[in-house]
Amino acid sequence: MLKFFSHPKTQLAALALWACMLPFWNLGMSVAMFFLLFVSVVGAVQKKKFLLLPVLRNPIYLSFLLVWALLFLGFFRGGENASVLKEIKTLLPLVLAPLFLQNLSPLSKSNENFIWKVFFTSVGVAALICVAYAVVKYPLQEPREASLFISHIRFSLMAVLALIGVWRGPCVIPTSLKITLTVVVCSFFFFVGTLTGWGFLIVLVVLLFASKSRRNKFIVVGTSLAVTSILLFFLSQFTESNSFQTENGNRVFVNVAPLELDSAWLARTNHPMLQKDARGQLVQSTLIRYLASKGLTKDAAGVQQLSDIDISNILAGYTNCNEPHWNALEKRWHQIVFEYQSFRSGENPSGHSIFQRIEYYKAAKFIIERNVLLGVGQGNVKSTYSQTYKTTSPTLDEKVQHAVHNQFLSYWIAAGLAAIISFLLYFYFMWKQARKHEIALAFVLLAFLSCLTEDTLTTQPGVAFFAFFSMFFFFLPRKED
């Protein structure tokens, strides 16, 4: 029995199972990883040789281990120990995988190519199922519902790496399948409306192009400056003329007769205007925006001109009469524009995903300024944010008072200056080792970008993505060519 578990083919199957589960199933990721850990231990027992020192001398591993240890010290700093335990448990794969998996049998080139095939296939199948669901259910009221298996943001990370890997990595599948995977993944990005996916893909391609030569770096820098200047120019023009909220060019919160509107809506629908629609928004706000989108007055006359379909749309949470016909990207763009207009008008940013982040950064800055060296301790993070928002953003709804959505700053807040420095060193040492290997470099850049825009390592799929590919590129033993 031990020979079965220690056999190289069993080890390869366990590794392939982990790669397969990444886009699909949180529990499957955990089961596959711990099965692989078990297999590595059995193999070490069979060989009567358990390796520890190689990884314990690796600066990549040591820099992350220090971050984990600093978070662990939160147990001794008061607060919610359950929060500390959850954090260190979530990060365990990044601590355990490199330590144990160095005892696996070395991977051959053919084994490595097999793992890539499994990963590409898994991402392609997951994306295809999500796209099929989106097509059948089209139009989706909430496009992100089409990401059926894991968060659309975490899946986007895997999908972007798969696209880069399939075109720039080892040639393990034919060109026809490469094109198919590209079409399916881009269709997923389209139907889900994920700006994260599109943004990471574009930025990563640009960065990899810039890494090729000094000439390419100058091209990228020059183009970026030109595009930024043009965008800022048009934004300034937009800001000067449109500092109010509009729907289809019609101003929203002007000439509103609230009492008349309320009585007319109640008479028409038998529902009070101060209830919530299907999206959890106040019907009053949805109704006013919808009326503006149709160019109707916000009074009894406007309500009387609404069709039964319009009434259903409003109760469903549609804020624009054209929204039922928009694709996911059109919805997302309209949402961003309205959020920007609301921000310019001084409205409460609650519910506005982009401009809420400004409030998150304000809170993070406030906390860091007062806890620069040691942070607040992982167990005190939640309560510290809660108190801080009362000072920095008192109008922000409590249900959206989240952490900063930046993994670097999160570690600084939780464990101090040493934690963010160690986490930066973690990426530096990976970059140093990966810079001559394009796909490994793509992973490092993608992981770094994700930590700038999200708390990637607070979720199981994010940690599994980091653990698998950091282990695959930097820790797994390989046969010499």
Domain ranges of the chain: 249-321
Structure tokens at 276: 């919530």
Please state, as a whole number, how many other Cβ atoms lie within 10 Å of the Cβ of residue 190.
17
Rounded Cα–Cα distance for residues 160 and 203 (Å): 11
Please state the pTM of the whole predicted model.
0.88
Residue showing tokens 């889900």: 192
Structure tokens at 418: 């040493």
Q: What is the DSSP letter of 106?
A: P
Helices (H) and strands (E) in the chain, counts: 23, 2
Of 143, 269, 249, 118, nearest to 194 by C-alpha is 143
Q: What is the DSSP letter of 399?
A: G
In a structure prediction context, what are the per-residue pLDDT tens digits for the chain, which is 481 residues long? 566 666 778 888 889 999 999 999 888 888 888 888 888 877 777 777 776 777 888 999 999 999 999 999 999 998 899 999 999 999 999 999 888 888 788 888 999 999 999 999 999 999 999 999 999 988 777 888 889 999 989 999 999 999 999 998 877 889 999 999 999 999 999 888 888 889 899 999 888 888 888 888 888 888 888 877 877 776 565 554 455 788 888 888 888 888 888 889 988 888 888 888 888 788 888 899 999 999 998 888 999 999 999 999 999 889 899 988 888 788 888 888 887 777 777 777 766 777 888 889 999 999 999 999 999 999 999 999 999 999 998 888 888 888 899 999 999 999 999 999 999 999 999 999 998 899 999 999 999 999 999 999 998 899 999 999 999 999 988 877 5
ω into residue 139 within 30 of 0, thus cis? Answer: yes
Residue showing tokens 């797994």: 476
Extended beta strands in 204-243, E state: none
Residue showing tokens 């160690």: 422
Rounded Cα–Cα distance for residues 10 and 38 (Å): 11
Q: What's residue 240's pLDDT?
A: 46
Structure tokens at 289: 């925006």
Contact predicate 403/381, CB 8 Å: yes
Q: What is the DSSP letter of 140?
A: P
Q: What is the DSSP letter of 318?
A: -
Q: How many residues does the chain have?
A: 481
Q: What's residue 235's pLDDT?
A: 59
Residue 141 neighbours by CB under 8 Å, 6+ apart: 278, 279, 316, 317, 318
Q: What's residue 338's pLDDT?
A: 80
Structure tokens at 379: 């167990």
Termini Cα distance of the chain? 31
